[in-house]
Amino acid sequence: MRLLRTQCVVAGGGPAGLMTGYLLARQGVEVIVLEKHADFLRDFRGDTVHSSTLELFHELGILDELLTRPHQKIREALITISGQDFKVADFGKLPTQCKYIAMMPQWDFLNCLAVAARKYPNFKLLQSTKAESLIEKEGKIIGVKASDKDGLFTIQADLTVGADGRDSKLRDASGLEVEDRGAPIDVFWMRLPRTSTKETESLGQVGAAGFLVQLNRGDYWQCALPFQKGAADVIRAEGLEAFRQRISAIAPELSEAALVLTSWEQVKLLTVQVNRLKTWWRDGFLCIGDAAHAMSPLGGVGINLAIQDAVAAARILGPALLTDTTDTKHLAQVQKRRVWPANITQKAQILAHKYVLVPAINTKTAPRPPFVIRLLNKFSVLRGIPARAVGIGLRPEHWQEPD
Ligand SMILES: Cc1cc2nc3c(=O)[nH]c(=O)nc-3n(C[C@H](O)[C@H](O)[C@H](O)COP(=O)(O)OP(=O)(O)OC[C@H]3O[C@@H](n4cnc5c(N)ncnc54)[C@H](O)[C@@H]3O)c2cc1C
C-alpha cells in the first residue's frame, strides 16, 4: 500500500480544514489536506463571511485578494414582519476593517484560501481523496487510511485533524462521544430570480403564512424556507404548485419569481443538526468546526466559528508540531479556548429555534413585531449590539505571526 508521511493531516477541505492547513503551512509545518470532492463547487453550503473573518484575512494580508471575488455587502440587516420593515442590526460601527458581512459563494471563499495555501511548498491539498479511517497504535492516532482513484493508501502523521464536517467519518471512527442538542427544523433552499435594484433589502419575511429567509445575491435571491423537522416528504407530496403558493403567501412580491420552480431538483433539502463533542480530542487526533460542534444555519455563524477554531488550533499546535512536542495538553488547550464560544452560540441558536423560529413557522395570524425588534428599529445605537454578536461573535481569534 502507498505510504505518505507528514507532520499534520487534515480531513476535510471546508472552511475549518483549509484554514488550518493554510495557517500551519504558513508556520512551516508540513501539512496534507484531504477533500473528498474534486472541487469546492457545492451550492447552499452557507455563504456568509462575517466581519471577524474578514478582519482575519486583513491580518493575514489576503483581504484584498478575497474581495476581488464576487460578493455582496450587508451593511444593515432588515427584517419584514407582517409587511413592515424593521432595522435590526447595523454593522457600520463595528471596530473592524470591513463594516459589513460579505455574501460570497463558498467556493470562491475556499478557492481563495486554497490559492493562498498552495504558495507554501509544504502544503498539499489532495482533492477527490477521502479520509476513510483512523490508524491507531498503542492508543494513539498516528494517521489515516485514505482513498483516491487509485485505491487505498496510508498517511502517517504526528497529528490528525478531523475537519470533515457534521457527518464526520473520523469523529465516528475515533469513538468520541457526540451529544445531540436537538434541532426542531429542516430547511428547503432555492434560488429565485431577482430584479430589484434596491440597495438595502430585508433579509427575511415573517407573516401569517410562515417565515422565509431572502438573501440578495445580485441577480438572484437565495431563499430558505424553514419547516418542522421531518415534514419534507409531506411538503413534497403536496406538490410544487402548493409549494410556490406557500412562498407567495409569505412574500407576495415573489409570486412571479417562484414560477421558475418547476422541479424538486431546484429545491434542496438541508437537514439541520445541532450537536457537540464532549471531548474534541484523543492522543494524536483533534476535531474542529462542525465535526466538533455542528451548527444550525441560524445567524449564519457556522463558517465563522469553524474559521475561528482553525485559527486557535493552528496558533496553539503550529509551534508544537514544528518542535515535535505535540502533546494531549495542546489538544485540550484548543478545546478549552474554543468550547465556550461554540457552546454559547449553540445555546443561543437553540433558544432562537424555540422562541422565534418555531413560533414563526407555525403562526396562523399576522405576527406583531416583538418589543425587542421595535426597540432596535427605533434606536440606531442599539442596532450595534446584534451587529457585534453576529458580525464579530464571541472570543474572535486574531493572527500574529509566531516568533
Ligand atoms: C442549511 C445550512 C445552511 C447554512 N448556512 C450557513 C451560512 O449562511 N453561514 C454560515 O456561516 N454557516 C452556515 N451553515 C453552517 C456551516 O455550513 C458550517 O457550520 C460550516 O460549513 C462548518 O465548516 P467545516 O469546515 O467545519 O465543515 P464543512 O463546511 O462541512 O466542510 C467539511 C468538508 O469536508 C469534506 N469531507 C467530508 N467528509 C470527508 C472525508 N471523509 N474525507 C475528505 N473530505 C471530507 C466535505 O466535502 C467538506 O468540504 C449552514 C448550515 C446548514 C445546514
- Probe target for ligand 1 pocket from 9, 10, 33, 36, with the most ligand atoms within 8 Å of CB: 36
Residues 299, 216 share a domain: no
Distances (CA, A) of 252 to 9, 82, 207, 249: 50, 12, 11, 6
Q: Write the DSSP symbol of residue 383.
A: G
Confirm whether 12 is domain-assigned.
yes
**Domain tally, the chain:** 2
- Probe target for ligand 1 pocket from 44, 144, 290, 304, with the most ligand atoms within 8 Å of CB: 290
30 pocket-lining for ligand 1 (C-beta < 6 Å): no
Residues 163, 31 share a domain: yes
Identify whether the C-beta of residue 396 lies closer than 8 Å to the C-beta of residue 340: no
> Does residue 197 register a pLDDT over 70?
no
163 pocket-lining for ligand 1 (C-beta < 6 Å): yes
Q: How far is the CA of 298 from the centre of ligand 1 (A)?
A: 14
Q: Which residue in this structure is represented by grid cell 437553540?
A: 350
In this structure, what are the phi and psi dihedrals at residue 73, rounded to the nearest 5 degrees?
-110, 130
What's the pLDDT score for residue 20?
A: 98
User: How far apart, in whole angstroms, are the C-alpha atoms of residue 280 and residue 277?
Assistant: 6
* Radius of gyration, CA atoms only, the chain: 22
What average pLDDT does range 234-244 have in this prediction?
A: 96
116 vs 218: which has the higher pLDDT: 116
Q: What is the mean pLDDT of the chain?
A: 94
Residues 73, 141 share a domain: yes
Q: Please, which residues have CB within 8 angstroms of residue 300's CB and are 6 or more apart in sequence?
A: 46, 48, 50, 101, 390
Residues 175, 190 share a domain: no
290 pocket-lining for ligand 1 (C-beta < 6 Å): yes
3-state helix, strand, coil in the chain (%, to 5): 40, 30, 30
List pLDDT tens digits, range 337-394: 999 999 999 999 999 999 888 988 888 888 889 899 999 999 999 999 999 999 999 9
Confirm whether 69 is domain-assigned.
yes
Nearest to 82 by CA among 286, 278, 252, 245: 252
User: How far apart, in whole angstroms, are the C-alpha atoms of residue 129 and residue 36?
Assistant: 5
Nine-digit cell string for 116: 493562498
Confirm whether 111 is domain-assigned.
yes
Residues 283, 193 share a domain: no
- Probe target for ligand 1 pocket from 9, 35, 217, with the most ligand atoms within 8 Å of CB: 35
User: How far apart, in whole angstroms, are the C-alpha atoms of residue 334 and residue 374?
Assistant: 40
186 pocket-lining for ligand 1 (C-beta < 6 Å): no
Q: How far is the CA of 303 from the centre of ligand 1 (A)?
A: 7
> Does residue 43 register a pLDDT over 70?
no
Among protein residues, the one whose CA lies closest to atom 12 of ligand 1: 302
Q: Which residue in this structure is represented by grid cell 443538526?
A: 273
List pLDDT tens digits, range 293-344: 999 988 889 999 999 999 999 999 999 999 999 999 999 999 999 999 999 9
Identify whether the C-beta of residue 35 lies closer than 8 Å to the C-beta of residue 125: yes
Pairing of strands 84-90, 31-35: unpaired
Residues 31, 129 share a domain: yes
What average pLDDT does range 191-218 have in this prediction?
A: 84
What's the pLDDT score for residue 44?
A: 61
Residues 374, 381, 358, 369, Cα dihedral to 10°: 10
Q: Helix 15-26 crosses helix 302-322 at what angle (to 10 degrees)?
A: 30
DSSP 296-308: PSGGG-HHHHHHH
Residues 66, 194 share a domain: no
Closest ligand 1 atom, residue 40 Cα: 49
> Does residue 148 register a pLDDT over 90?
yes
Looking up residue 109, the CATH number of its domain turns out to be 3.50.50.60
Residues 225, 230, 231, 234, Cα dihedral to 10°: 130
272 pocket-lining for ligand 1 (C-beta < 6 Å): yes
pTM of the model: 0.94
Domain carrying residue 342: 2-181+273-391
Confirm whether 235 is domain-assigned.
yes
Name the percent of the chain lying above pLDDT 70: 98
Residues 153, 52 share a domain: yes
Nine-digit cell string for 231: 415534514
Residues 315, 194 share a domain: no
Which range has the worst mean pLDDT, 138-147, 186-195, 311-320? 186-195
Nine-digit cell string for 153: 493508501
Q: Which residue in this structure is represented by grid cell 434542496?
A: 268
Q: How far is the CA of 44 from the centre of ligand 1 (A)?
A: 10
- Neighbour count for residue 368 (Cβ, 10 Å): 10
Residues 236, 92 share a domain: no
Confirm whether 402 is domain-assigned.
no
List pLDDT tens digits, range 206-233: 988 889 999 888 889 999 999 999 999 9
36 pocket-lining for ligand 1 (C-beta < 6 Å): yes
> Does residue 33 register a pLDDT over 80?
yes
What's the pLDDT score for residue 364?
A: 80
User: How far apart, in whole angstroms, are the C-alpha atoms of residue 256 and residue 247?
Assistant: 10
What's the pLDDT score for residue 40?
A: 87
Q: How far is the CA of 218 from the centre of ligand 1 (A)?
A: 23
Confirm whether 399 is domain-assigned.
no
What's the pLDDT score for residue 200?
A: 62
Residues 309, 246 share a domain: no
Question: Among positive and negative, which fits the CA dihedral 90, 94, 98, 104?
Answer: negative
What average pLDDT does range 178-182 have in this prediction?
A: 94
Confirm whether 398 is domain-assigned.
no
Residues 106, 91 share a domain: yes
Confirm whether 400 is domain-assigned.
no
What's the pLDDT score for residue 292?
A: 98
What's the pLDDT score for residue 42?
A: 73
What's the pLDDT score for residue 240?
A: 97
What average pLDDT does range 245-263 have in this prediction?
A: 94
Nine-digit cell string for 227: 419547516
